[in-house]
Amino acid sequence: MNVKELLSLKEFQDYEVICGEQGLKNEVRAVTVMDALDIRNWVKGGEVLLTSGYILYCNIDSIANIVRDVHEAKAAALFIKLGRFLSEVPEEAVKICNDIGFPIIKMPKDHLFLQAIQPAFLELLNQKNNIIATSERIHTSFINIVINGGGICEIVDTLGELLKRDVIFIDNIFNKTYKSKDTRINFENMDKKMLEKYFYYDVNLDNRNYGHIIVSNPRNDLKKYELLAVQHASTVIKLSIQKKLSNRSIEERYRDGFVQDIILNNIKSEEEVVKRGETYGWILDKSWYTTIIIDIDNTKIQYLGVKSRQDTEKIEIGNQRIFRYCAEILNCNFKDIMYTKFTDSIVFIIKCEKLCDNKSSIVKVLNELKNNTYEKFKFTLTIGIGKSRDSITKCHEAYLEAQKCVKISRRIYKNDKIMLYEELGVYNFLYEVNEIPGVKNFYKEYIDRLISYDNMHNTELMKTLIGIVENGWNLKETSKTMYIHYNTLKNRYKKIEEVSELKLHETKEKLNMELAVKLYLANNIENLI
């Protein structure tokens, strides 16, 4: 109830507004007697203050300050008996009240305070009871929706009917928008400034934003019962989203288990994999399947710096955000995908209609994904792609290939690369022969002198040699890719020959050195690139 509504009661028909009319919308929460100058210390907000005028008459020079004080304390209005002690409100106080929007009401001088307090109290009590009853009805109607299996769509419709307004809910968890029936306003195409003119309610839980309820009311112009309706709707919306999240979590757990069974070769028959796939709406027929590992770089280094459970949770939440983003992008670009998550990697199986030998479309999408992930999350990705298989039951082979791509790519390029199994070339062989006795001794014989020289003289001979080898011993091309002047590169080349004590222009020596460099790159985690 506001001051204007209070004055509309029959008991207040003889009351007259003296000044501060713009404050008649002030909410009334209580009616009390003002009998001391320090009344401000006792005002909690929403009080209508009653006075005979005596305290003001005795302090007539302070009336303007008293009015300002009780207004700042959020009092609703001041009721004064004029004609008994105080004949009129001083002009200065009237001006202040008109400026600040604080109403002063003239009480009939023969009215007892009880004649104002009692009807105001009864009306406040009735309104409170009505709000409680209305709140319970609204709460029950929303709870019944949930109990009867209704979802957010029904909740939004019910809220729209209660408010008799257009209502939408923007779901930030599942990226959906729900509109009440016959919504006329196109909220989606509105910018933030346009939305600000409508009532806007954040749906939050545990410091997480679930979304926003938008009502076509002017901002901050909802009645108390309408605000209660929005709050109740928010509560059941949160319950509905939590239910969906729980269901999604359970489904993801079973789905993860299924995909992991595929890539770890725990499914022996094609019939089994087809039947289980149907459970999740996947048609795993005779097609070509491409297996991809997207590995988040530097996550393991982050775990080394963990000091508390909160630190671990922060890393895991960050990983999950990246995983969700990767899944969204690949879902948008490919018709049929399956995926499962590990601590710092996510494995995708993409169903293709035909054999993609060059996988150009997949690589293009993954390149954009890799670049956008860095822009969005400041994390790089190493991506390995196995050879395509003509059966889902063979994807475990492709998974091992993709794993090898990630490992070798990291050793050669450190991070932020896409490696296809078909492009491993000689590195695939060199990676496998690492365990053969004498292999390490072979490449160390050729490169140890260069590494030692670099360490002693702070040079980059080994790095330069790697660049030369990777550019097919073309010095001009190497100077371009390494951003080194051609003459500088030639001098380094001569120094490499001098330090290694080899004549690299001779075919035999060149072949041995190239093999040594590639063995080093394929089998050493600590490298120079």
Q: What is the mean pLDDT of residues 140-160?
A: 86
Whether residue 17 is found in the same domain as residue 94: yes
Domain with residue 12: its CATH number is 3.40.1390.20
Q: Greater confidence, 356 or 24?
A: 24
Confidence band of 86 (pLDDT split at 50, 70, 90): confident
Please report whether residue 164 resides in a domain: yes
Cβ contact 366:386 at 8 Å? no
Domain with residue 403: its CATH number is 3.30.70.270
Q: Greater confidence, 504 or 429?
A: 504
Among 45-54, 225-234, 413-422, 432-441, name the one with the lowest average pLDDT.
Answer: 432-441
Whether residue 417 is found in the same domain as residue 444: no
Please report whether residue 256 resides in a domain: no
The average confidence (pLDDT) of the chain is: 84
Whether residue 223 is found in the same domain as residue 239: yes
pLDDT reported for residue 107: 92
Cα-based angle 74, 79, 82 (whole degrees, multiple of 5): 145
Check pLDDT > 90 for residue 26: yes
Q: What percent of the chain has pLDDT over 90?
A: 24
Whether residue 225 is found in the same domain as residue 268: no
Whether residue 361 is found in the same domain as residue 469: no
Check pLDDT > 90 for residue 76: yes
Q: What is the mean pLDDT of residues 415-437?
A: 75
Whether residue 392 is found in the same domain as residue 471: no
Whether residue 326 is found in the same domain as residue 403: yes
User: To 10 degrees, the CA torsion angle through 73, 75, 77, 80?
Assistant: -70
Structure tokens belonging to residue 131: 């709000």
Q: Which of 424, 450, 472 is the last residue of a domain?
A: 424
Confidence band of 525 (pLDDT split at 50, 70, 90): very low
Please report whether residue 123 resides in a domain: no
Domain with residue 165: its CATH number is 3.30.450.40
pLDDT reported for residue 306: 63
Please report whether residue 168 resides in a domain: yes
pLDDT reported for residue 130: 76
Among 79-83, 136-140, 438-442, name the one with the lowest average pLDDT.
Answer: 438-442
Confidence band of 320 (pLDDT split at 50, 70, 90): confident
Please report whether residue 276 resides in a domain: yes
Please report whether residue 223 resides in a domain: yes
User: To 10 degrees, the CA torsion angle through 439, 445, 449, 455?
Assistant: 20
CA 132, CA 171: separation in Å to the nearest integer? 29
* Three-class secondary structure of residue 106 per DSSP: strand
Render 311-331 in DSSP notation, one character per residue.
HHHHHHHHHHHHHHHHHHHHH
Render 107-133 in DSSP notation, one character per residue.
EPTT--HHHHHHHHHHHHHHHHHHHHH
Whether residue 240 is found in the same domain as residue 389: no
Name the pTM for this structure: 0.53
Confidence band of 303 (pLDDT split at 50, 70, 90): low
Please report whether residue 116 resides in a domain: no
Whether residue 275 is found in the same domain as residue 300: yes
Q: What is the mean pLDDT of residues 242-266?
A: 86
pLDDT reported for residue 3: 94
Check pLDDT > 80 for residue 461: yes
Q: Greater confidence, 210 or 134?
A: 210
CA 296, CA 315: separation in Å to the nearest integer? 11
pLDDT (tens digit per residue) in 363-379: 999 999 999 998 988 88
CB atoms near residue 367 (< 10 Å): 12
Whether residue 287 is found in the same domain as residue 344: yes
Whether residue 396 is found in the same domain as residue 440: no
pLDDT reported for residue 347: 95
The one-letter amino acid code at 211 reads G
pLDDT (tens digit per residue) in 30-51: 999 987 777 878 888 999 999 9
Cβ contact 292:263 at 8 Å? no
Check pLDDT > 90 for residue 504: no
Q: Which of 363, 391, 424 is the last residue of a domain?
A: 424
Confidence band of 297 (pLDDT split at 50, 70, 90): confident
Q: What is the mean pLDDT of residues 371-391?
A: 90
Alpha carbon 161 to chain centroid, angstroms: 31
Alpha helices in 378-459 (DSSP H): 395-413, 426-432, 439-457
Check pLDDT > 90 for residue 248: no
Among 13-22, 148-157, 435-444, 489-498, name the one with the lowest average pLDDT.
Answer: 435-444
Among 123-137, 237-251, 424-438, name the one with the lowest average pLDDT.
Answer: 424-438
Domain range holding 513?
Answer: 432-523
pLDDT reported for residue 437: 63
Whether residue 78 is found in the same domain as residue 168: no
Q: What is the mean pLDDT of residues 305-323?
A: 77
Q: What is the mean pLDDT of residues 171-193?
A: 78
Q: Which of 368, 403, 424 is the last residue of a domain?
A: 424
Burial 230-251 (b: 16+ CB within 10 A, else e): bebbbbbbbebbeeeeeeeeee
Q: Greater confidence, 467 or 305?
A: 467
What's 297's DSSP letter?
A: T
Among 201-205, 246-250, 412-416, 494-498, name the one with the lowest average pLDDT.
Answer: 412-416
How many domains, in total, are found in the chain?
4
Please report whether residue 252 resides in a domain: no
